[in-house]
Structure 1
Amino acid sequence: MKLTVDQADLAAAVGYTARSLPSRPPVPVLAGLLLDAADRRLRVSAFDYEVSADTSAPATVTENGRALISGRLLSDIVSTVRGDVRLELTGSRMLLKAGSARFTLPTLPLEEYPALPDPGPTAGTLPGPALAEAVTQVASAVSKDEALPILTGIGLRHDNKAGTLTAYATDRYRFAVRTLTWKDANLPDCTTVIPAKALTDATKAATDDSTIDLSMPTANSGLFTLRTEHHTTTIRAMEGELPKYETLFPTEFTATATVEIAALKAATQRVALVSTKKEGPIKLTFTTDNTLTLEGGTSDDAQAIDNVDTNLDGGELTIAFNPTYLTDGLNALTTESVESVQFQFTSPTKPAILRGHGSDDQALRYLLMPIRLTG
């Protein structure tokens, strides 16, 4: 193996694949990046049996070949050098030259490295920015509790008749749902759950791609695939199902209120400062004079109160939320570039729905469980 590649191209390829490397590989070879030089391109791959990443960069290849190099070390080196990078494999050592810098790197045994998985046929196509936005939004409701692994995933549901792909997530206290219309989605109705971190990383890496081809898991492979012109990521689907969201979201409401997101976020963060516990509730009182009053703290400790303007349609209502969960929902809504949130209420003790003011049925819906107030 002998080649020359531009540092920026190599850094992009190594960065794309290195994000999939396991922090604690079960066997040493899984910490490596597979380099394959042929046909005027350098292919860079990573695989840990759960997630694979595969991409390529243009290169001047004078000698075809393959090598397995420590991914973290290669990533650190490539990010610090400049100009053309020359790679040459000599026996079990890889020589890397860039400018005045010279590195000699050991290789890992190629024969022990697993074969990359077959990504499978394309099921449908989505714009890269839209998919990345949707996944980021619903990830706001993903559970961080590893005791229930299925809640650390993001559900994907394909509706053949509607031609849509719906992403959703829950931690039992909130539920986020976002729907996308996708092209050429010619497959039966299906549902899968994908590890949230892997899916979020993969879609963020493809944000700049105009289109992404997706493959849904099958009984034979169990792999979810994202593929662009030069990048491919496969992720093994999780076993099990997330709770069904259709029956959880009410369709009739007793009151609605619209509030500017920036003002509400700032007031929420201020009032939450007096809470002795991170999850301590803040009370929201929507009044008929179009004022929203936020209150936090207890009579025995510090207390806080703040007001923001609102537009209430319905009777006066008082409800309490976990301030972190409320802020997460507001942050998720701002990725749609909306300026105001619409609250939809049925009662102070039942879940409220947050959505962008004026948004359509496919936009983010964020269902938030209230906290019962005592005293």
Structure 2
Amino acid sequence: MKATIERATLLKSLSHVQSVVERRNTIPILSNVLIEARDDGSIRLMATDLDLQVDESVPANVSTPGATTVSAHTLFDIVRKLPDGSQVELNAAEGKMQLTAGRARFNLSTLPRDDFPVIAEGDLPTRFELPAATLRQIIDKTRFAISTEETRYYLMGIFLHVADDQLKAAATDGHRLARVTVAKPDGADGMPDVIVPRKCVAELRKLLEELEGTVEVSLSPTKIRFGLGSAVLTSKLIDGTFPDYNRVIPTANDKLLKLDPKTFAQGVDRVSTIASEKTRAVKMNVDRDKVTLSVTSPEAGTATEELAADYGADGLEIGFNARYLLDILSEIDGDTVEVHLADAAAPTLLREKDNNSALYVLMPMRV
């Protein structure tokens, strides 16, 4: 195999694929990236952890087609440190790959291409397209609520399903819930309910960063594939049943509090400075047209802040985890957040004004 490629092109593509590779691997080939120089003047780069796979093709000057595999993180670090604008020559033969750029030369150990595992997709019967901007919004407004508890593996992803003629995405860790709805795309009829794993969500979000246009989504009950221009992301899905989250979305919270989300977030952030790391508890005293935020810490002291608000119901005292509250408020884009309250023990509903696409549920805590 022999090919020449521009450093910037190679670096960008390597940054996409190498992040899939785990730092510690018991199977040596999984530490490697597959590099395949093709007749059509492109280099294909591919990495996998057996559950997730990224495959990207980039333009190159190919002298001799062929393929090899080399340490993904080592190659990425080398290319990252090469001078801007340099041409990188890759030459693989007899168990080694020589990389040359200007006066720099590296001889890297390789493993055979035939040993490299590829995720077998099987049939992916459901196919539809989503605008990249819509997919970014779905991920950004839900992923903070994905659980990290290994014992509740079925919560360790974003739940995608079709209901009420809409495509819905939900994530919850038992303390908070985030749900986004978008119009059902053509082709999504009969789509199975699927849970997209946290790592797949993180890699997908990176690949979406600079992408315009649409993303092709293909899926079956066990696998999902995202076509993102020159890159393809394939992932196994979580084999489990997501709980019926609709049961925890309150429908009878009749006390409506309206605040400016930025002012609210800044106030919560300020008073929670002295909150204990363990509980992060902040108390909200809601009264006519004002909210008083307070934190009491046995070690650090007390903090209070008063915020102007639009509220006309009976007074209420309720406590929340400050970090959970800040995560939600950071995703509110408008100039008003609606907080639908019931009492100090009931789940609280938060949403943007005049925007029904995203809603959040937050469980209160005793303070």
Q: TM class, shorter-chain normalised?
A: over 0.9
User: In the alignment, what sits opposite 1:226?
Assistant: 226
In the alignment, structure 2 segments of 5+ residues that lack a partner are none
User: In the alignment, what sits opposite 2:306?
Assistant: 307
Question: Is residue 96 of structure 1 aligned with residue 92 of structure 2?
Answer: no
User: In the alignment, what sits opposite 2:246?
Assistant: 246
Question: Is residue 211 of structure 1 aligned with residue 205 of structure 2?
Answer: no
Deviations 1:312-366 (A, max 9, x none): 1422222111111111111232xxx32321101122210111111221x22x211
Question: Does the residue aligned with 2:246 lie in a helix, a strand or coil?
Answer: coil
More off after superposition, 252-261 vs 50-59: 252-261
Q: How far is the alpha carbon of 1:301 from its aligned partner?
A: 5.6
Tell whether the 8 Å contact from 2:253 to 2:348 is kept in structure 1 after alignment: no
Change (3 A) 1:202 1:250: same
Deviations 1:4-47 (A, max 9, x none): 11111111111111111123223000111001111100000012
Match of 1:135 among 134, 139, 150: 139
Question: Is residue 110 of structure 1 aligned with residue 113 of structure 2?
Answer: yes
Change (3 A) 1:69 1:292: same
User: In the alignment, what sits opposite 1:368?
Assistant: 362
In the alignment, structure 1 segments of 5+ residues that lack a partner are none
The CA distance in 2 between the partners of 1:348 and 1:29, in whole Å, is 54
AA in 2 matched with 1:4? T
Change (3 A) 1:13 1:300: closer
| Mapping of residues 75-224 of structure 1, within 5 Å | 75-81=76-82, 82=84, 83-118=86-121, 120=124, 123-159=127-163, 162=165, 164-209=166-211, 210-218=213-221, 222-224=222-224
Given the two structures, how large is their TM-score scaled by the length of structure 2? 0.93
| Mapping of residues 227-306 of structure 1, within 5 Å | 227-288=227-288, 290-298=289-297, 302-306=301-305
User: In the alignment, what sits opposite 2:75?
Assistant: 74
Tell whether the 8 Å contact from 2:258 to 2:309 is kept in structure 1 after alignment: yes
AA in 1 matched with 2:351? R
Tell whether the 8 Å contact from 1:125 to 1:182 is kept in structure 2 after alignment: no
Q: How far is the alpha carbon of 1:189 from its aligned partner?
A: 4.2
Tell whether the 8 Å contact from 2:162 to 2:184 is kept in structure 1 after alignment: no
Question: Does the residue aligned with 2:205 lie in a helix, a strand or coil?
Answer: helix
CA-based RMSD:
1.8
User: In the alignment, what sits opposite 1:343?
Assistant: 339
Q: How far is the alpha carbon of 1:242 from its aligned partner?
A: 2.0
AA in 1 matched with 2:341? F
Deviations 1:129-167 (A, max 9, x none): 2212211221111122223222222211123x61x3211
Q: How far is the alpha carbon of 1:197 from its aligned partner?
A: 2.6
Change (3 A) 1:339 1:90: same
AA in 1 matched with 2:227? R
The CA distance in 1 between the partners of 2:145 and 2:134, in whole Å, is 18
Tell whether the 8 Å contact from 2:57 to 2:230 is kept in structure 1 after alignment: yes
AA in 2 matched with 1:156? L
Deviations 1:42-71 (A, max 9, x none): 000012210000001101111100010100
Q: How far is the alpha carbon of 1:91 from its aligned partner?
A: 1.6
Tell whether the 8 Å contact from 2:89 to 2:100 is kept in structure 1 after alignment: yes
The CA distance in 2 between the partners of 1:114 and 1:301, in whole Å, is 54
The CA distance in 2 between the partners of 1:14 and 1:252, in whole Å, is 51
How many residue pairs are counted as aligned between the two chains?
362
Given the two structures, how large is their TM-score scaled by the length of structure 1? 0.91
Question: Is residue 13 of structure 1 aligned with residue 13 of structure 2?
Answer: yes
The CA distance in 2 between the partners of 1:235 and 1:199, in whole Å, is 10
The CA distance in 2 between the partners of 1:325 and 1:286, in whole Å, is 19
The CA distance in 2 between the partners of 1:86 and 1:313, in whole Å, is 70
Deviations 1:266-288 (A, max 9, x none): 11112112223432421111211
Tell whether the 8 Å contact from 2:16 to 2:206 is kept in structure 1 after alignment: no
Question: Does the residue aligned with 1:123 lie in a helix, a strand or coil?
Answer: strand
Tell whether the 8 Å contact from 2:126 to 2:220 is kept in structure 1 after alignment: no
Change (3 A) 1:313 1:253: farther
Deviations 1:158-201 (A, max 9, x none): 23x61x32111111111111112253224304211121132122
More off after superposition, 347-356 vs 312-321: 312-321
AA in 2 matched with 1:108? L
The CA distance in 1 between the partners of 2:219 and 2:343, in whole Å, is 39
Tell whether the 8 Å contact from 2:285 to 2:291 is kept in structure 1 after alignment: yes
Question: Does the residue aligned with 2:266 lie in a helix, a strand or coil?
Answer: helix
The CA distance in 1 between the partners of 2:27 and 2:271, in whole Å, is 49
More off after superposition, 200-209 vs 304-313: 200-209
Tell whether the 8 Å contact from 2:13 to 2:58 is kept in structure 1 after alignment: yes
Tell whether the 8 Å contact from 2:319 to 2:364 is kept in structure 1 after alignment: yes
Q: How far is the alpha carbon of 1:309 from its aligned partner?
A: 1.2
Tell whether the 8 Å contact from 1:129 to 1:208 is kept in structure 2 after alignment: no
The CA distance in 2 between the partners of 1:283 and 1:186, in whole Å, is 43
Change (3 A) 1:66 1:189: closer
Tell whether the 8 Å contact from 2:100 to 2:106 is kept in structure 1 after alignment: yes
